[in-house]
Amino acid sequence: MNQALPYLLCTLQMVIALYCIFYKRNLIKIILGLMILSDGINLLFILIGYKFKGVPPILHEEAFKHGLEAFYAAAVDPLPQAFVLTAIVISMSVTAAALALTIKIYQKYGTLDVYKIRRVRE
């Protein structure tokens, strides 16, 4: 399979997310776009550390059978996974904050349509 394909799919997902954030009128959909965007980036991050037919980066008995060099060459990069875990937690808290704000906005205006909410610029 073409190696570039997963990267292209990630990029496509980010483009869709950006479209969703900047062109949708519903606040919930905008927040969904934000989640899709951060998931696209997380996916890309995982992809960067991934090796096709790679092994888990854990030093157990199996790893010593073929020597450490072979293990190093075959193991996927564990660092991006740690990064992504952190990023997922952060994106969750941003989403929570956004949803809390959305509730407030809905209580105030009775609508989730951004075009009906714009008053700051007046």
Partner 1 sequence: MIPAEWLPVLCIAVPLAAGVAILPMEKLPRRVPEVLAVAAAALTLLLSGMLTLQVYGGNLIVHLMAGWKPPVGIVLTVDLFNAFIALIVVFLVFLSALFSASYMHGETGLNYYYSFMMLMLGGMLGVILTGDIFNLFVFMELTGISAYGLTVFRAYRARALEAGFRYLILGAVGTSLLLLGVALLYGAVGTVNYADLAVRLSKGIFLPGVDGSLVIPLSIMLIVTGLGVKASFFPLHTVHLDATSEAPSPVAAILSGAETKVGIYAICRLIFLIVPFEALNWPLIFAVLSLFTMTFGNVAALLQEDLKRMLAYSSIAHIGYILMGVAAGSQLGVSAALLHIFNHSVMKGVCFLCAGIFMSQVGTRSLSQLSGVGRRLPVTTTLLSIAFLSLIGVPPLSGFVSKFLLFTASLTAGMLWLVLAAIINTVLSTGYYLRFLKVLIRPSTSLPREDVKEASPLLLASPFILTVLLVVFGLWPQPLLEVSNQAASTLFQLSKYVSTVLGGS
Give the binding site for partner 1 (CB under 8 A): 14, 18, 21, 27, 30-31, 34, 37-38, 41, 44-45, 48, 79-80, 83, 86-87, 90, 93-94, 97-98, 101-102, 104-105, 108-109, 117-120
Nearer to partner 1, 45 or 55 (CB): 45
Nearer to partner 1, 58 or 97 (CB): 97
Residue 99 beta carbon to partner 1: minimum distance, rounded to whole angstroms: 10
Long-range contacts of 7-12 (CB under 8 A, 24+ apart): 7/44, 7/47, 10/40, 10/43, 10/44, 10/47, 11/40
Tally Cβ neighbours within 10 Å of residue 36. 18
Task: Report angle CA 58, 61, 67 to the nearest 5 degrees.
Answer: 85
Nearer to partner 1, 14 or 63 (CB): 14
Residue 61 beta carbon to partner 1: minimum distance, rounded to whole angstroms: 24
Residue labelled with tokens 């096709």: 52
Nearer to partner 1, 65 or 93 (CB): 93
Amino acid at 89: V
